[in-house]
Copies of this chain bind each other. A is one copy, B any other.
Amino acid sequence: MRGPDQVERLVAMLARLPGMGRRSARRAALKLLQDPGGLMLPLAQSLRETAEAVRPCRVCGNLDTQDPCRICTDPLREQEVLCVVEGVSDLWALERAHVHRGLYQVMGGVLSALAGVGPEDLRIAALLERVAAGEVREVILALPATVDGATTAHYLTDRLRPTGVAVTQLAQGVPMGGALDVMDDGTLAAALKARRPA
């Protein structure tokens, strides 16, 4: 016996969550079982309610309880500035930082030859349509600072060029609080190349 079958099934499912291994999933299952009313059943209910309530925004790809989402329908946001992100987690990170007051377009990934992700797998048509509709003045590419992110940024810049919209991307450099002696060479090279007057 390794614990009842129900528990083993629960452990297997918990182990599929990011950051969880088999061992931590087992610890999590035991912690849940020790407090069924306080955490286990509320978690079950929260999962069901959230799965039913939250869906992708048909305009930008954000996840929200309303469709189009609260960002797309907010008249106070700048309608002319569109920020392109890889995924919803990046959108939420930018929102938590309160740094972008425009709209978003979630790509649903980045181009990757290794992972077999091509342009047809990303929401590029939606982006081009929104830009073609005319209100967007600037597209900010906020893609990850990786090879795949840079490839995707180049590709999108090419596709957006005919529309005449301004295309910008996030600055690269040393992050806040970053000590130079722990930075990788790529970051140091990018920061030096993009140096500006002090």
Which residues on A are within 8 Å of B, measured CB to CB? 1-7, 9-10, 13-14, 16-20, 24, 26-33, 36, 39-51, 53-54, 63-65, 70-71, 87-89, 92, 95-96
Contact = CB atoms under 8 A, between A and B. Distances in A.
A53 to B, nearest CB: 5
A54 B5 CA distance: 10
Given A40-B50, A41-B47, A51-B44, A64 B4 contact: yes
Contact of A41 (B5, B6, B26, B51): B51
Number of copies: 2
B92 A3 contact: yes
Nearest to A50: B6
Contact of A32 (B17, B64, B92, B95): B17
Contacts of A64: 4
B46 A1 contact: no
Contacts of A39: 13, 16
A135 B65 CA distance: 61
B2 A49 contact: no
Contacts of A9: 46, 50
A8 to B, nearest CB: 10
Contacts of A20: 19-20, 28
A27 B18 contact: yes
